[in-house]
Structure 1
Amino acid sequence: MERVMSPYTDPASRAADGTFPLDQTDVHTLSNESLAGLLYSSPALYDLGQTTVVRLSKTLAMKGGGNVLPSEAAVMHVAAEAGIRTPRVHRSWQVDDDTKYFGTMGYIVMDYIDGQPLDSCWEGLSNERKLKVANQVVKMISKLQSVKLPRPGPIGGGPCRGQFFTHYTAGPFGDTSEMQEWFNHKLEIAKAWNKAPNDIPDFKFEEFVLTHQDVSPRNLILDADGQVWLVDWADAGAYPRAFETAAISSQSSFPDFNNMVVSRLPRYQQEEEQLHSIEYVLSVAPLA
């Protein structure tokens, strides 16, 4: 179920000697409306579907689109407080827009992280450097999972996103029992279609931790000092620990990266098996 699409990137957005719209401007002096207009005129770091990331200045970037929800900026604040290397959020806001899937257009102004996207340089790294990167990612995930949260889902509420919630999302769930009921319904269908073992137990969620759900080289940036930064928190929220390792182990791209990371993390065999058992249902009958 891994998303395999190629975003557009303007080479000018990463030019070391480039000039950008807000190089000489204090972002705090601009209105939200003025900043929103720059989403369509600034060099694109990433542009795919309903999500665009542009370079505002040598130090700032902006993410905007119909898939940018309030929970993304909220979870980035929590992750930064937990000591995760992630872009610092300077401003975020929403604009009602009935043409978008979620009925809103969101914007996040954040630090621009100067470095190489890991998916573009991973294969060229030595085995020693790959191991150092993998160890940093493992430490990040361990820090995330040290943050325990009282209820499941995105920070501040909203629909749950990620590969285990279908392309259409799921929820919002009011409490643990609602989310369990949703997952167990999917498991029942998988068993009925002989896509899951009949003796696999029902989902039972007991603890929720800060979870990214999309840790992949495409969402990691390697800076000039060899430090790794984690970006794109759209799917993040409070979920069981197994969701992180199950998501990484499901990815088809960069298998050596995936193996190096998950082999250094605690594994949750039953929970991961449950999640993998419903992937077929999530793919072919997402609304069932």
Structure 2
Amino acid sequence: MFGPIQRAYTLICNRIRRLLFPFLLRRARRLYPRIQHHVRRLTKSTVAKTAPVYGLFVEAEAMRFVAEHTSIPVPKIYDVWASDDKFGYLVMEYIEGDRLDKKWRSLTHDQKVTVMRTLRGYVDQLHAVQQPGNVGWIGSVSGQACLDLALIDALSGPFASEEEYNDWRISLFSWYANESPKVKHQLDDIRQQMRHDHRIVLTHGDIARNNVLIRVDGDGPGDVSVIALVDWGQTAWRPEYWEARKFYWVAPQNDWFSLGQELLLSGYQKEIEIEERLLLISGPPR
């Protein structure tokens, strides 16, 4: 825990950074290339992320929680604040490394296996974290509303149980059910097949190659290391199959996908089939 002097120092630094932020951002546009469309290097040692404010605070909370409860490498959070009613800024540690999506094709097969096994270890760590309070609820790391872009582009929940969560998910398709008796019958059948007894575990929610930073020092299987897992904005307590469902939703059909099936997120075939049936009704609900 920070002492009072450290807390005061942090508050002063954050206040100064916020005052200087417009200048730092203009300077950064001249000095550094954009990392992703919403992420930009701010200074030599920091990165700034711009996003809807409701998601940024959830992400910052998740990163701090994961850093405290696991050994997964995540950037250190320095500050998060709202710039207006809609958008905000998240300032975090800059970690020097290569995005996995930029390096994947140049890795050897054994190096790809090393990366996947490392990520599997991270997933195992997340799943091993004890859910606070009464277990079984679904929501952010602290039990509040959470974000998942595979469902809706807004916060949802929290949900007291997986059963309540499943009812809500089916409700997202209510327009289609009202328009078509056939679709209503399909949704009723899907709902009956949805389990509500999965273990509820901590889930990253977006394990994709562009969210993995690596360092490569040679051609051997031990010459590649994962140095950070980033983009924790969709992190939440969810049913144990959800990480696999999200991986299948975003993964390209190549060896990243096949290795992921084998080494990262095997199993949950029944749950994936149910998800595919839902997607056939409307595509991802919005």
Out of 154, 169, 188, the position equivalent to 1:169 is: 154
Q: In structure 1, how many angstroms separate the alpha carbons of the residues matched to 2:141 and 2:92?
A: 18
1:113-142 Cα shifts (integer Å, max 9, x gaps)? 111111111011111111111111111111
Which consecutive residues of structure 2, in runs of 5 or more, have no partner in the other structure? 1-11, 218-223
Q: Structure 2 counterpart of 1:259, which letter? A: S
Q: In structure 1, how many angstroms separate the alpha carbons of the residues matched to 2:256 and 2:250?
A: 10
For the 8 Å contact 1:195–1:280, the answer to whether it is kept is no
Measured at CA, do residues 154 and 27 of structure 1 come closer, stay the same or move farther in structure 2, by a change above 3 Å? Answer: same
Q: Which residue of 2 aligns with 1:62?
A: 48
For the 8 Å contact 1:72–1:233, the answer to whether it is kept is yes
Which consecutive residues of structure 1, in runs of 5 or more, have no partner in the other structure? 1-25
Out of 214, 230, 243, the position equivalent to 1:222 is: 214
1:144-177 Cα shifts (integer Å, max 9, x gaps)? 11124243122342343231x13x3352334224
Q: Which residue of 2 aligns with 1:119?
A: 101
Two-structure CA RMSD over aligned residues (Å): 3.0
Identity %: 23
**What SS does the corresponding residue of 1:63 show, helix, strand or coil?**
strand
What aligned pairs does 1:86-105 form with structure 2 within 5 A after superposition?
Answer: 86-97=74-85, 100=86, 105=87
Q: In structure 2, how many angstroms separate the alpha carbons of the residues matched to 1:154 and 1:261?
A: 25
**What SS does the corresponding residue of 2:258 show, helix, strand or coil?**
helix
Q: In structure 1, how many angstroms separate the alpha carbons of the residues matched to 2:26 and 2:63?
A: 24
Point out the more displaced range, 227-236 or 192-201. 192-201
Q: Structure 1 counterpart of 2:211, which letter? A: N
Is 1:185 aligned to 2:146, yes or no? no
1:40-87 Cα shifts (integer Å, max 9, x gaps)? 542353343xxx212122222121222642110111112222111111
Query: How many pairs were matched up?
Result: 250
What is the TM-score when the length of structure 1 is the normalising length? 0.75
Look at both structures and tell me which one has the larger radius of gyration over its CA atoms: 2
Q: In structure 2, how many angstroms separate the alpha carbons of the residues matched to 1:240 and 1:174?
A: 12
Q: Which residue of 2 aligns with 1:13?
A: none
Q: Which residue of 2 aligns with 1:46?
A: 35
**What SS does the corresponding residue of 1:259 show, helix, strand or coil?**
helix
